[in-house]
Structure 1
Amino acid sequence: MALDQQSDSSRPLYLDTASAAPVRREALEAAWPYLTGVFGNPSSHHEVGHTSAEALKDARRRVAKVLGMRSTDIIFTSGGTESDNLAIIGISLGAGTGGNTGSGESANCRSPRRHIVTSALEHEAVLASVDFLVRWHGFEVTQVPVESDGMITTEALRSALREDTLLVSLGYANNEIGTVADIAALADVAHDAGAFFHTDAVQAAGWLPLSGLGVDAMSLAGHKVGAPKGIGVAAIRARIPLEPLIHGGGQESGRRSGTENVALAVAFATALELAEAEQVEAVARVQAIRDDFIAKVLASVPGAFLTGSESSRTPNHASFCFSGTSGEAVLLELERLGITASSGSACAVGSDEPSHVLTALGIDDDVAKTSVRFTFPASFAAEDGRRAAESVSAAVENLALSYS
């Protein structure tokens, strides 16, 4: 029998951390002094400003340590979208008009490399940045073919590369289907061709290793790891020529002007460190609950199928298509039962179009519109997983009864 209206004693379950994770208390507490007493501008040449500058320097160092990079590589931004834009457009306009190639060779004139490789699965911030370069700066783009589960093989990437490829931008963990790419192997292929490699690692932070990937640039967003919204990192090797997108006072070593948000930078560093420290335990526990959740949903919901890779996906991610239903209707019914989930990227809310990620996998448009994504918090417990699976089954059953 379908579940009835949730009782007052039912605790709401928030299963949309891919859109935004709860802000960690430790991050807020770390930021608080820089929102109140220690309020100086870090560029000011007095003691109050110097205190803020030291806090910013320390936050940069702490983030760099987690990423296995240098402090000079870390640029604080407003979030993942700006980080993607800065990495893709900044490197393309900086290195693509002279400077270093991905192989480390220097050039004193305009680089002949005007080709970018990406995939149809990337976040809108990546696709739009590449499109901007094509439309306004004459770059050419190749979208590397993807497997039906969202994986990208090294052979496919190698075939997409050209002698004039300047940059490869491929996501680490897909936000809609959870598929995890072998970034280290893909970066090696790009470097063999003399190209730079950027990865959007926004969905990977806290769940996957961030160091030792061999990338030239990486994008991160604070609100995915427990920092407030409005802070991100573009980690770009300092040796790479970079054209700033924001011009002004030359902050962030001249690569991103504007008064730095010290409080949120400190919050980001704190949240990222905590997520890194807790990762091994959280992954082992949440992945087991996630696997049980997937099995229960597939066994109890007729027509349901998993999207993305079965074996290579972020530990907290489960996404389905529920054929014969409406994804939005399922979400509304789940919310009635106390479960908050999503239909995919929060950046595409309001669009009537099917997910570009799912259609790139060959899923029919009508079926793609039945998609629902569940992304679990690190605090997810076994009983939460069981209740969530029962609620999914009940939601689809309730809809079937209402249609009959």
Structure 2
Amino acid sequence: MRLSFLEPLYTESGPFASVYLDTSRDIEHPDRAIALRWRRLREDLTRQGADRAVLGVLEKAVGADAELPGVHGQAIFAANGSLVMEGELPRPPARDSARYSTLPDAMPLVSQHLPEIPYLAVVVHYGGLPTATAHGWVTVEAESGTWPASNVAPGERLHHRVPVATWHQSAVRLGHRLDAWVRRTHGDTVVVAGDEWAGNVLVRRLPHALRDKVVRVGGPTPTDTGRALLEPQLDTVFRGRLAAHDQDLVNVFIGRRALDGPVTEGLAATVAALQRSQVAALLLNHPPGSSLRLWTGPQPAQLALTDEELVSFGVRAPREESADDALVRALVGTAAELVVVPEYALKLDEGVGALLRYTHPWTPP
């Protein structure tokens, strides 16, 4: 998973206010519930030392996703009296939280983007007889996205309607159009639902490479909910999977490790590689959480297990931070990727490892 979407967070200096709250609209009087949640978080931030300017910016942003229906959440970051980043969460946070700290609390936002699987959802509607002489129309709705974030931030949508009498010929042209779309968006999977006969016609006329990516699903197929097309089916198809790109990185790690290639495992060795901007992709069995701490300096690659180590590198006044915060900043600042892979698929020493960009000797400054 690439973390470039977090770059705006690190253009500001801290301290940062990081807010996660449930802004779901599936309850009675949602605005009242959101206001109550925010009031508790505001009091918490005030106790942590957040100033009025930051609190005012956050208050304006809370609930700004009111047009989004259903269950979801909101992540908001502010610093120096300015809104730094705001985004919708496909799931409400496990609990509302607010933190005022030197580094932004970004790992919960990253976790809500995982596993970041690019896909194309296709719904084929037709209610008539499956013959070329029948009257009526075949309607196709298609939408690209990256699961699960696209549940609340759907991508580009296509609406295609053709007479049923020409559906066999039109399906060929549409198939090539969908194939070009999937190539452009690097889609892993094409999820197809709707009428069985019309859907079969389309799938059989897709280019072979695209046909191999098709997953057929059933269930309700509403197209005007304001949420991702086929949202419930996407959850069933993708939960527990890695994106194809991330699975490739895991396979490369396994192959390199077997040959003593350019990889590292264990917290100390991986932190040392991050110090050198040597990490191409960080692999975790699970995010470290707030209990594990690292020492940091003002630059992304300035992180260590002890403050003495950073001082020896010339860092003045190192700060102890959550390992989650330090690792995310280091990954964004060094353009490294993140893969969270379950232990049953790849057990890592101390739950952490890395694919390396290079392995030649390095001496700290």
Instruction: Using structure 1 for the length normalisation, give the TM-score.
Output: 0.25
Larger Rg: 2
The answer to which structure, 1 or 2, has the higher relative contact order (CA under 8 A, 6+ apart) is: 1
Which is helix-richer, 1 or 2?
1
Which is strand-richer, 1 or 2?
2
